[in-house]
Amino acid sequence: MAPADALHVTTEAMFLVLLLSMPPILAASIVGLVVSLLQALTQIQEQTLPFAAKLIAIAITMAATSGFLGAEIFNFTANLFDTFPELTR
């Protein structure tokens, strides 16, 4: 395997990791910001509230985007297996 091929496969894998992790991270960030703002406005000092809200938001986001995430992982893996003989020459 040429170094350029290894770099290309690694770059695709890292891009896929970024793409797949973006929806839950965005959901957790937005929910955390909103819950923190509401806690500041209402002076609620409950520490488990942001954690529970983020956990629920991430679960809903993962369930909503699971079809897209699974398809992207499948396409990457299928492409990797298809190009494997050419990469190992």
Give residue 77's domain range.
44-84
Where does the pLDDT of residue 71 fall: very low under 50, low under 70, confident under 90, or very high at 90 and above? very high
- Determine, yes or no, domain membership for 12: no
Q: How many domains does the chain have?
A: 1
CA distances from 19 to 33, 51, 66, 69, 86 (A): 22, 23, 13, 9, 26
Q: Is 57 exposed, middle or buried (0-12, 13-18, 19+ CB in 10 A)?
A: buried
Using an 8 Å Cβ cutoff, are 39 and 46 in contact?
yes
- Determine, yes or no, domain membership for 89: no
Q: What is the pLDDT of residues 13-41, one digit of tens each?
A: 999 999 999 999 999 999 999 999 999 99
Report pTM. 0.79
- Determine, yes or no, domain membership for 62: yes
- Determine, yes or no, domain membership for 3: no
- Determine, yes or no, domain membership for 7: no
Where does the pLDDT of residue 44 fall: very low under 50, low under 70, confident under 90, or very high at 90 and above? confident
pLDDT at 56: 96
Q: What distance in Å separates the CA atoms of residue 34 and residue 55, rounded to the nearest whole number?
A: 14
